[in-house]
Amino acid sequence: MLDIFILKKTLELAGKGAELALVTITKSNGSTPRVVGTQMTVLKDGSIIGTIGGGAIEKKIIELALEAIEDGEDKSIFLTLADEGMVCGGEIEIFIQVFKPSPEILIVGGGHVSLALYNVASLLNFDIVIFEDREEFISHERFPNAKKLIIGKIDKELKEYKISENTYIVIVTRGHKYDGEALEAVINSRAKYIGVIGSEKKVMNMFSTMKNRGITDYQLSKVYSPIGLNIADNSPEEIAISILAEILSVKNHKSGGHMKALN
């Protein structure tokens, strides 16, 4: 029998962006501590809601659930309890359902490259947030599928925004000064990716200015700039694709090389 409390709590936490796994006993043979339908939720930090039987078997299932969360894949696993040090000797099959929040992309700026980037990101599983300080460049008509539109002083709004390790930031404002202010606002965040548009000369000048303001080489080493993979011409659309390609290589832990090289 499904546990309504566990299901409700799991969905509530998942809705808030928690990474977790819901474990359900789907088959049971012989002597086992819990019956078919028993559920337990395992959070990324190893804490649990509910119980699947305690002892060695529960410890093993928590380990399996944490592996599934890390892999981001649902899994069906057969376990013999005797192999896990339990005297009851029965067998169970569990289904591990992983809940992970959608990755979030913050597009800082609302100009031509930002619009192209938004259009490409809309095809992927990203929650899109747009930051702008010009009303004419930020609207639901311009960015209809964005999760949030944030208008105001960009560096201030970025400092106040909750940035997680599931966040990818692309800084493409209307000018070098604003790019630097935005970068300084997020340089110490937990974002998985921070990219800033610009030529090598512009980037060098921006980094030099930031160093004079106390930003270290280590902090700047986390920044992807010039931004994107070296595949685009100067059109906003190709630049956007090169940026998203770089983000996907970071997100999916891929090298970005040719697939042909793998054959």
Average model confidence (pLDDT) across the chain: 90
- pLDDT score recorded for residue 124: 92
Is pLDDT of 105 > 80? yes
pTM for the full predicted model? 0.79
Confidence of residue 261 (pLDDT cuts 50, 70, 90): low
Q: What is the token pair recorded at 19?
A: 């990474």
Q: What is the pLDDT of residues 20-51, one digit of tens each?
A: 999 999 988 876 767 888 999 999 999 999 98
Q: Find out whether 57 and 48 touch, Cβ atoms under 8 Å.
A: no
pLDDT for 86 equals 55
CATH superfamily, region 104-251? NAD(P)-binding Rossmann-like Domain (3.40.50.720)
pLDDT given for residue 56 in this prediction: 82
pLDDT tens by residue, 49-80: 998 877 888 899 999 999 999 888 899 999 88
Identify any residues that bridge with 21 across adjacent strands, giving them in sequence order.
42, 98
41's CB contacts (< 8 A; 6+ apart) are: 6, 9, 10, 13, 20, 21, 22, 23, 48, 49, 50
Which residue intervals of the chain bear CATH 3.40.50.720?
A: 104-251
Phi first, then psi: give them for residue 245, nearest 5 degrees: -65, -40
Q: What φ, ψ does residue 187 adopt, rounded to 5°?
A: -60, -30
Q: For residues 183 and 213, what is the distance between their CA atoms, to the nearest angstrom?
A: 12
DSSP category for residue 103: P
Task: Provide the percentage of residues in the chain whose pLDDT is more than 90.
Answer: 64
Tens of pLDDT, residue by residue over 174-193, are 988 899 999 999 999 999 99
Q: What is the rounded average pLDDT of the residues 102-113?
A: 95
Beta carbons within 8 Å of 1's beta carbon, 6+ residues apart: 35, 37
Query: Residue 263: pLDDT band by 50, 70, 90 thresholds?
Result: low
Instruction: Give the model's pLDDT for residue 84.
Output: 52
The most confident of 12-16, 29-33, 34-38, 238-242, by mean pLDDT: 238-242
- Read off the pLDDT of each residue in 133-151 and give the average, rounded to a whole number: 95
Distance separating alpha carbons of residues 40 and 50, to the nearest angstrom: 5
> What is residue 143's DSSP assignment?
S
Distance from C-alpha of 51 to C-alpha of 155, rounded to nearest angstrom: 45
Look at residue 87 in the predicted model and tell me its pLDDT. Answer: 53
What DSSP character marks residue 31? B
Half-sphere exposure of 177 (CA within 13 A, CB side): 1
pLDDT digits (tens, 9 = 90+) for 75-95: 999 988 766 555 556 788 999
